[in-house]
Structure 1
Amino acid sequence: MDVIWILLALAAVVVGYVIVTFNQLVSLRNRVREAWSDIQVQMKRRYDLIPNLVETVKGYAGHERGTLESVVKARGEAMANTGDPASQARSENMLQATLKSLFALVENYPQLKADANFAKMQADLTDTENRIKMARRYYNGSVRDLNIKVEQFPSNLVARQFSFVQAQFFELDEDEAVAASRPVRVDFGAQRS
């Protein structure tokens, strides 16, 4: 009789552990999804700011068509990319590089830098970039927490049983990080028509 009670108690502990671990995994997975959604909201905000920024620059520096077209093209590719975080990170890195080129171009146009609308758009874009960085940090922290739970023993047994998988981090590849840190080369002579 005592053996039966011990086995029932042990079974209750195992079932309780599975339930608690399953709920923790669901919570972590939903936190990752929510964090990814936050990143997408901020990226959309940036995508919405870029056309007005390009039009303002075009008014002052219309002959810099190549740079402006590359910003518009990178924005379009980033907006169209709905792949995994690694794929979207590549698109976002390209967009950031073209925006960096755009702001390097602006340095040669003091009237544009003094334009109130441009200054506000630039401040809004900077604020959005900061929000994306914060959202990226939160997302990557949530991914880390989920991945730890999916990998650690014995929670990995529950994760495997209920098909919980590791999430991808949203970060720069090493080559892209190096490329993004290089100074932008702007050649105004070659761009003029």
Structure 2
Amino acid sequence: METFLIVTGVIIFIIIVMYNTLISKRNQVDNIFAGLDAILKKRYDLLPNLVATVKEYMVHERITLEKITELRSKATTDNLTDAETVALDKQLSSMLGNLMVAVENYPTLKANENFLHLQGTLNELEEQISAARRAYNQSVTDYNNAIQMFPTNFMAGFMKLERKEVFSIPVMERQNVDVKNLFQK
């Protein structure tokens, strides 16, 4: 009887430890995502000022500016899932990259003090976003490992925990930049 109680106690202890570990990892992912979300909000708040400044100079880039404005509007709605936020961030990052390349064709814009300040702020935010993405991806990897590895995978299945997606860069951004082409403009 005493052995039975000891074995039962050990099993209950192991179950509690697994449960608490999974909850901790899930909460860590949520916490880091919330931090990333706060940085993304700063970027979304900066975009109207950037677009307004650039609009004065870049008549030919109207489509890019409209797309950035549209993506910002979608991104600031409250009912987005994590996956939708990740997808919008990928699109917005790509569009901002296109905008910064297009700026090279407008020397007076590049010299505009307001634009330079906004560009510097945007660059700083992009670095913060990059760091937050790395932290998020590490946290998601730890979480995914915990819910997929034995024996915690049984507890994760019981708790209906699902795998989370990491941030990944779009295929277009993985390609090498043709620097020679940039200097021929």
Which category describes the TM-score, using the shorter chain as reference length? 0.7 to 0.9
Residues of 1 paired with 2:166 and 2:80: CA distance?
A: 12
Check 1:133–1:47 CA distance in 2 against 1; reply closer, same or farther (3 A cut): same
Ranges in structure 1 where 5+ consecutive residues have no aligned partner: 186-193
- Is 1:104 equivalent to 2:101 in the alignment? yes
- Corresponding residue for residue 158 of structure 1: 155
Ranges in structure 2 where 5+ consecutive residues have no aligned partner: none
**Secondary structure class of the residue paired with 1:74:** helix
Tell whether the 8 Å contact from 1:71 to 1:102 is kept in structure 2 after alignment: no
Radius of gyration: which is bigger?
Answer: 1
- Is 1:28 equivalent to 2:10 in the alignment? no
- Corresponding residue for residue 138 of structure 2: 141
**Secondary structure class of the residue paired with 1:60:** coil
- Corresponding residue for residue 180 of structure 1: 173
- After the TM superposition, which segments of 4 or more aligned residues of structure 1 sit over 6 Å from their partners? none
Structure 1 residue identity aligned to 2:167: E
Structure 2 residue identity aligned to 1:177: P
For 1:44-71, what per-residue CA distance to the aligned partner results, in whole angstroms no more than 9, with x for missing partners? 1110011000111122334542232122
The range that moved more, 63-72 or 136-145, is: 63-72
**Secondary structure class of the residue paired with 2:56:** helix
The count of aligned residue pairs is 178
Percent pairwise identity: 35
CA RMSD of aligned residues (A): 2.3
Question: Offset at 1:80?
Answer: 3.5
Question: Offset at 1:113?
Answer: 1.0
